Amino acid sequence: MKTQAFQLTTLSQSSLQDYMDCAQRFKLRYLDRLSYPAVETEPTLENEKHQQEGEYFHRLVQQHLIGIPAEQIARFANTPNLQRWWENFQNSADLTGLKDLTGLYPEATLSAPLGRYRLLAKYDLIALRDGKAVIYDWKTYRKRPRNEWLAARMQTRIYRALLVNAGAHLNDGRPFEPEQIEMIYWFADFPEEPARFPYTAAQFTRDWDLLVKLSEEVASASTYPLTDDRQKCAFCTYRSYCERGVRAGDIDQAEAEMEADELFNVDFEQIGEIAF
Nearest distance, CB of residue 16 and ligand SF4, angstroms: 15
Pick 25 or 59: Cβ nearer ligand SF4: 25
In the complex, least distance from residue 244 CB atom to ligand SF4, rounded to whole angstroms: 4
Q: How far is the CB of 250 from ligand SF4 (least distance, A)?
A: 16
Q: Which is nearer to ligand SF4, 181 or 248 (CB)?
A: 248
Nearest distance from C-beta of residue 190 to ligand SF4, angstroms: 28
Nearest-angstrom CA–CA distance, 88 and 254:
24
Strands 125-129 and 132-139: antiparallel
At 137, phi and psi to the nearest 5? Answer: -130, 120
Give me the least distance between CB of 28 and ligand SF4, in Å please. Answer: 6
Q: How far is the CB of 41 from ligand SF4 (least distance, A)?
A: 13
**Minimum distance of ligand SF4 from residue 230's CB (angstroms):** 7
The rounded Cα 187 to chain-centroid distance in angstroms is 13
Q: Which residues bind ligand SF4 (CB under 6 A)?
A: 22, 24-25, 28, 226-227, 232-233, 236, 238-239, 242, 244
Whichever of 20 and 242 has its CB closer to ligand SF4, that residue is 242
Closer by beta carbon to ligand SF4, 74 or else 242: 242
Residue 25 vs 160, nearer CB to ligand SF4: 25
Q: Which is nearer to ligand SF4, 221 or 226 (CB)?
A: 226
Which three-class secondary structure string do you get for the chain? Answer: CCCCCCCCCEECHHHHHHHHHCHHHHHHHHHCCCCCCCCCEECHHHHHHHHHHHHHHHHHHHHHHCCCCHHHHHHHCCCHHHHHHHHHHHHCHHHCCHHHCCEEEECCEEEEEECCEEEEEECCEEEEECCEEEEEEEECCCCCCCHHHHHHCHHHHHHHHHHHHHCHHHCCCCCCCHHHEEEEEEECCEEEEEEEEECCHHHHHHHHHHHHHHHHHHHHCCCCCCCCCHHHHHHCCCCCCCCCCCCCEEHHHHHHHCCCHHHHCCCHHHCCCCCC
Measured from the CB atom, is 221 or 242 closer to ligand SF4?
242
Handedness of CA 54, 67, 14, 32 (dihedral sign): positive
Q: Which is nearer to ligand SF4, 243 or 273 (CB)?
A: 243
CB of 240 to ligand SF4, least distance (A): 8
